[in-house]
Amino acid sequence: MSSSSTTTTTTRLLMLKASDGVTFEVEEAVATKLGAINNMVEEEGSEDLICLPNVNGKFLGMVLEWCKKHANNNTNSDKGNDEVNKWWDKEFVMDLDQNTLYHLLMAADYLSGTELVDLLTEKVASMIRGKKVEEIRETFKIKSDFLPGQEEEIRKKNSWAFE
């Protein structure tokens, strides 16, 4: 593709190993979008296999897919790229189920992928905004563990928030 000429000078491949033993070979420019990997490369170099015991292969794959898209789209400074990235991000989070969303968020947080954390937390926030407490409870399957009457007590005490 057209990006080949710009990346030939910097293309170095990193080997990442997920908790379940799945390995990924990615360009350094892609993987270093993740703060944690950037730090590891800076401190220990990029020759060795980088082990990530807290991330499962499935979710590491998804995180890297996101990084790859954003690393590619950032190389050419076209004005329309912001739009493309936004559109792509929207698609990326659109149909995520809560289980995937949770694991992705944990992975992105662990890997310090700041922009990805922003994207995913905003997605969760959009599932909260505009909802009544009961709807939030239903959406996220949150079970109340208050003692009988305790919830009512908090509600009363903070009546200024529940009118």
Site of interaction with another protein (CB under 8 A): 2, 76-79, 97-99, 101-102, 105-106, 109, 117-118, 121-122, 124-126, 128-131, 133, 136-137, 140-146, 151, 154-155, 158, 160-163
Residue (13 or 128) nearer to another protein, CB: 128
CB of 56 to another protein, least distance (A): 15
Give the HSE-up count for residue 90: Cα atoms under 13 Å, Cβ half-sphere.
6
CB of 128 to another protein, least distance (A): 5
Residue (72 or 121) nearer to another protein, CB: 121
Residue (13 or 136) nearer to another protein, CB: 136
Measured CA to CA, the distance from residue 27 to residue 128 in angstroms comes to 36
Residue (49 or 147) nearer to another protein, CB: 147
If we measure between CA atoms, which residue out of 12, 18, 5, 89 comes closest to residue 45? 12
DSSP classification of residue 50: E
CB of 47 to another protein, least distance (A): 32
Measured CA to CA, the distance from residue 112 to residue 37 in angstroms comes to 8
CB 57 within 8 A of CB 21: yes
Measured CA to CA, the distance from residue 17 to residue 29 in angstroms comes to 17
CB of 102 to another protein, least distance (A): 4
